């Protein structure tokens, strides 16, 4: 240990009847910690302890503190944690339970506990002033113990479980922000090498359409030969197609809603993707695009992007352009289009359900006529084979 001078405060603390102050310095790390124990004269109060970040390791620390309390009589443990990030959270919670134990723990006998937790920069400067360039877990722990005895840091209050969870969430958010900033800087560097004009045209290169553009066309050669986007607002008799290359380069075409016209439109522009809305016509249009070898995406009309709460104008051209812009901003919410066989089977089932419902409605009307005339209404089906005996006096409608 370093040579030292006994101060007046240390002499006052060593008066009879006063608990002896024991400095406990703990250097924290991810999987284990190192503890040093100093008396008021800055000499070792017990052997230093290296313990793991586990229940068994915490039990070893408690046993060491109990041994010191038995050996030195009434003591006041002044614990100083050299916190490294979030590594000290569990340990800090454990030492606070030594001070204020719950129902499942017991208080340290013949001892009181004062806890402080310093920021790494202050602990680093204090350690450098005492030990120079030396740096190791034992050195860090001894410097923390000496700081606890000499500087008398203010005790920290324990955090509630809600505060601990909130602190962890805030830490995760800060980590995500830092990671995003690093990734954006890396993207700036790559664009400076391959596509420097993009950063001059668009200040925020982390927006969705820029990332989608770079993903689809990672080189300048591919970008030069990029195919347009064709977004079609389908109508029963007439459809409006938006041929979209950029926000400043787009054209509209009004065509009849037929397979031949759509095939000619696709053949003329050879788009990278065809965008349509989910509707009754979406099935055969999707099949046509697949037959032409063009990707077709069917937008989900129930998504939040399609709620026109703040749209002052809604036309076919606006709908087609909006569809293209949502795809460029990405990702566009889409639905899966079943195979033609599945769609046909579902259409047959739906049509049959409508026929059954219509038949039931007609039977109920006939029964209503019987009841309105004071006649007993038939209880069985009015079509098909007879299932049970009918009341005398009732009539039957033949199928």
Per-residue confidence (pLDDT) for residue 397, from 0 to 100: 46
The position carrying tokens 């993009």 is 198
Residue 48 pLDDT > 60, yes or no? yes
Higher pLDDT, 325 or 120: 325
Residue 31 pLDDT > 60, yes or no? yes
Residue (of 353, 346, 358) closest to 280 by Cα position? 346
The position carrying tokens 């009732």 is 394
As given in the structure block, the two tokens for residue 253 are 């075409």
**Going by DSSP bridges, is the β-strand pair 75-82/249-256 parallel, antiparallel, or unpaired?**
unpaired
Residue 1 pLDDT > 50, yes or no? no
Q: Give me the helices (H) in the chain, please.
A: 8-13, 55-72, 89-99, 120-131, 137-150, 161-194, 196-201, 208-216, 220-224, 259-269, 282-291, 316-329, 340-372
The arithmetic mean of pLDDT across residues 36-45, rounded, is 91
Taking the C-alpha atoms of residue 77 and residue 115, their distance in angstroms, rounded to an integer, is 8
On whether the CB atoms of residues 160 and 168 are closer than 8 A, the answer is no
**Going by DSSP bridges, is the β-strand pair 49-52/32-38 parallel, antiparallel, or unpaired?**
antiparallel
The arithmetic mean of pLDDT across residues 266-280, rounded, is 89
SS3 sequence, 61-109? HHHHHHHHHHHHCCEEEEEEEECCCCCCHHHHHHHHHHHCCCCCCCCCC
The arithmetic mean of pLDDT across residues 307-331, rounded, is 77
Percent pLDDT > 90 in the chain is 27
Per-residue confidence (pLDDT) for residue 358, from 0 to 100: 93
Residue (of 340, 344, 394) closest to 367 by Cα position? 394
Per-residue confidence (pLDDT) for residue 50, from 0 to 100: 93
On whether the CB atoms of residues 253 and 239 are closer than 8 A, the answer is no
The arithmetic mean of pLDDT across residues 350-373, rounded, is 91
pLDDT digits (tens, 9 = 90+) for 160-209: 778 878 888 888 899 899 998 998 888 888 877 777 777 777 777 777 76
Topology annotation, domain 8-158: Nucleotidyltransferase; domain 5 (3.30.420)
Taking the C-alpha atoms of residue 32 and residue 140, their distance in angstroms, rounded to an integer, is 14
Topology annotation, domain 227-335: Nucleotidyltransferase; domain 5 (3.30.420)
pLDDT tier at 49 (50, 70, 90 boundaries)? very high
pLDDT tier at 313 (50, 70, 90 boundaries)? confident
Per-residue confidence (pLDDT) for residue 224, from 0 to 100: 64
Q: Side-chain half-sphere of 282: how many Cα atoms within 13 Å?
A: 22
Per-residue confidence (pLDDT) for residue 398, from 0 to 100: 47
Listed in sequence order, the residues at least 6 apart from 156 whose beta carbon sits closer than 8 Å to its beta carbon are 92, 115, 116, 117
On whether the CB atoms of residues 235 and 316 are closer than 8 A, the answer is yes
Do the two domains 8-158 and 227-335 of this chain adopt the same fold?
A: yes
- Decide: residue 102, CB within 10 A, 0-12 exposed, 13-18 middle, 19+ buried: exposed
Listed in sequence order, the residues at least 6 apart from 359 whose beta carbon sits closer than 8 Å to its beta carbon are 383
The arithmetic mean of pLDDT across residues 313-326, rounded, is 85
CA 95, 96, 98, 104 torsion: positive or negative?
negative
Taking the C-alpha atoms of residue 261 and residue 50, their distance in angstroms, rounded to an integer, is 79
Lowest-confidence segment of 61-75, 269-283, 349-363, 373-387 by average pLDDT:
373-387
As given in the structure block, the two tokens for residue 373 are 């005339």
How far separated are the first and last CA of the chain, in Å rounded? 109
Residue 309 pLDDT > 80, yes or no? no
Higher pLDDT, 298 or 383: 298
The arithmetic mean of pLDDT across residues 4-27, rounded, is 66
pLDDT tier at 353 (50, 70, 90 boundaries)? very high
Cβ–Cβ contacts within 10 Å for residue 266, how many?
21
pLDDT digits (tens, 9 = 90+) for 234-255: 998 999 999 988 777 788 999 9
Cβ–Cβ contacts within 10 Å for residue 240, how many?
20
Residue 128 pLDDT > 50, yes or no? yes
Residue 8 pLDDT > 50, yes or no? no
On whether the CB atoms of residues 149 and 40 are closer than 8 A, the answer is yes
Task: Show me where the domains of the chain are located.
Answer: 8-158, 165-220, 227-335
Percent pLDDT > 70 in the chain is 83
SS3 sequence, 256-307? ECCHHHHHHHHHHHCCCEEEEECCCCHHHHHHHHHHCCCEEEEECCCCHHHC
Mean pLDDT of the chain: 81
Residue 112 pLDDT > 70, yes or no? yes
On whether the CB atoms of residues 116 and 79 are closer than 8 A, the answer is yes
Higher pLDDT, 135 or 85: 135
């Amino acid at each position: 240990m370093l040579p030292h001078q006994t101060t007046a405060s240390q002499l006052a603390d060593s008066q009879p009847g006063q608990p002896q102050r024991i400095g406990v310095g703990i250097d924290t790390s991810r999987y284990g910690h190192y503890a040093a124990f100093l008396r008021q004269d800055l000499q070792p109060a017990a052997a230093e302890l290296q313990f793991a970040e586990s229940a068994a390791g915490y039990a070893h620390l408690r046993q060491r503190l109990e041994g010191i309390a038995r050996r030195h009589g009434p003591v006041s443990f002044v614990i100083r944690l050299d916190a490294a990030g979030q590594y000290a959270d569990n340990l800090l919670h454990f030492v606070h339970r030594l001070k204020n134990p719950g129902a499942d723990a017991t208080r340290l006998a013949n001892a009181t506990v004062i806890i402080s937790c310093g920021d790494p920069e202050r602990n680093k400067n204090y350690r450098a002033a005492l030990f120079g360039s030396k740096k190791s877990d034992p050195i860090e722990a001894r410097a923390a113990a000496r700081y606890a005895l000499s500087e008398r840091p203010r005790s920290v209050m324990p955090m509630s479980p809600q505060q601990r969870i909130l602190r962890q969430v805030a830490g995760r958010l800060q980590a995500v922000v830092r990671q995003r900033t690093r990734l954006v800087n890396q993207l700036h560097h790559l664009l400076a090498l391959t596509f420097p004009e993009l950063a001059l045209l668009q200040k925020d290169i982390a927006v969705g359409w820029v990332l989608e553009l770079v993903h689809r066309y990672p080189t300048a050669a591919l970008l030069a030969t990029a195919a347009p986007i064709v977004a079609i607002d389908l109508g029963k008799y007439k459809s409006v197609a938006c041929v979209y290359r950029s926000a400043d380069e787009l054209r509209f075409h009004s065509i009849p809603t037929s397979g031949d016209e759509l095939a000619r439109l696709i053949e003329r522009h050879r788009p990278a993707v065809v965008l349509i809305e989910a509707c009754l016509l979406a099935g055969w249009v999707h099949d046509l695009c697949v037959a032409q070898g063009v990707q077709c995406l069917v937008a989900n009309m129930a998504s939040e992007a399609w709620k026109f709460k703040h749209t002052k104008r809604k036309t076919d051209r606006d709908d087609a352009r909006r569809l293209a812009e949502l795809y460029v901003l990405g990702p566009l919410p889409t639905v899966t289009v079943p195979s033609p066989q599945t769609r046909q089977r579902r259409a047959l089932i739906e049509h049959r359900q409508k026929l059954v419902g219509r038949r039931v409605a007609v039977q109920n009307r006939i029964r209503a006529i019987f009841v309105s005339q004071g006649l007993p209404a038939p209880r069985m089906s009015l079509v098909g084979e007879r299932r049970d005996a009918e009341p005398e006096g009732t009539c039957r409608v033949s199928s």
